[in-house]
A and B are shown apart, each in its own frame.
Chain A
Amino acid sequence: MAETHEGATRRDFIHVASATMGAVGAACVAWPLIDQMNPAADTLALATTEFDVSGVEEGMAVTIVWRGKPVFVRHRTAKEIEEAGAVDINDLPDPETDGARAAKPEMLVLVGVCTHLGCVPLGQKATDPRGEWGGWFCPCHGSHYDTSGRIRKGPAPTNLPVPPYEYISDTVIRIG
């Protein structure tokens, strides 16, 4: 009995070991098949955009394209900056101070993609509806953003993201 038992155990070990090797091998083969779907090298190469903000007058907003997505550049009025700063951030669904969201307070740069399901919110044109907080309004399922691009009401869970950007001269920003 002991002998058969021992034999069975060693055989089990071989089964488990070879099944494990097989699984590892299959995973190694599967990864390239999955990863090919991720952004390709040329897509990643287009990942930065430069833009001269000096042409954006006070009260005006411009939409540029970064990584195929709209980026909102808005030259805010003093009133808008003040409204954005005056909020008690504990009242916000996604608390963030206005100061942390704009490198220069008058020039707000945001990814113009609603954090709910990806529509482009309205509010870039003076004639657009800008929602109850005077920033942006997403028509798809009714999200309201304030003049800092923070979510105030509606299904979107987070604020409009600030893309990574820096001023490479006084007036030119590089996004990405």
Chain B
Amino acid sequence: MYLCTMMADETKKAFNVRAIREQFPALSQKIYNKNLIYFDNGATSQKPAMVLDAINQYYSKDNANIHRGVHFMSQHATTEYETARKTIQHYIHAKSSDEIIFTKGTTDGINLIASSYGELLTEGDEILITAMEHHSNIVPWQMLCQRKKLTLKVAPINLKGELITEEFDRLLTDKTKLVSVTHISNTLGTINPIAEIVKKAHAVGAKVVVDGAQSIQHMAIDVQALDCDFFVFSGHKVFGPTGIGVLYGKEALLEKMPPYQGGGDMIAKVTFERTTYNELPFKFEAGTPHIAGGICLGKAFEFLNGLDLQAIQTYEKEITEYAQDLLDTFEDLSIIGEAKHKTSVVSFSIKGIHPFDIGTLLDKQGIAVRTGHHCTQPLMDFFKIPGTIRASFAFYNTKEEIDTFIEAVDRSMNLLK
């Protein structure tokens, strides 16, 4: 018995990049006749065969509408969809599967909170975000503030790309009703101290939204340990399909919130005079959902459950630092974002060279990176640059790929000099 457990642990621990890569068919293709090097995982992740097979299986065999059929296929699809919800619940350690709301993604989740929880806020209330937020964690709050006459406050960061704690503390007052922060910055890789932020926010009676778009792919998430009130993420960034995502919310809060959209599935009883709403989580899931998306996102988490998250985290940190150290040796190149706690993202800019030029030349060498403002324009303004070149890694990337990438950066810089 003891031996068995130990062996199972051993298999899980033996983190083998080669074996993992084989499970991602997209990684073994050629682009412009070069082996693809995919360093755009911050934008979206590639999908393992297990997820691809599930997509195929769903549409070729299991396709049926859920929550509304007496027939076998509908019941089967419903079971699969609700099983996925439970898989996700367990993965992020939510108390109940009623706290897992399927959405279209991070953006959709934040808009849901802004629209619905926003209804509970009143004139003069404040919302606090940080200077490193993605546009989708800025604009919905600006819109809400306009609509409800609230005030949006922005906690500044230092030049390393870290939240300035004293400033955050100063801006967090008893007027603050909502704090919305990214767990990991998609542009800088900074990991924010969420548990600490939550403690402080709760002390003044504010609720906390965590934008988990980047963190869900890179670290083990425990929403109860973090004690955050909401946690949102996108399926496509965590090896699942596009068009599906999750909003976690504490049950008591979700109960208090009015529905976001009206339609089928979210109702208990409809008459022309009055409609009563369905219970959680369905109250927030109007209309036929992305059934295949939900089921296959569940598969993505099953895939992750088969891996050792701790080992992955260590490996990703290691390759990130490896890339950063090599980039650091280039003259005229500056790393943007040097937080003490960071992972999986290396953003940089090169004196006298436009990011677009580097990005285009890297592309021609088979390397996918992102260039530009990464949907964080205010952050670019802060660093006074038009954009960065961003390499963002996943556990299927290798040091050999980074070596090739470094050579390609060197070649591109020489061409552009």
Partners in one complex: no
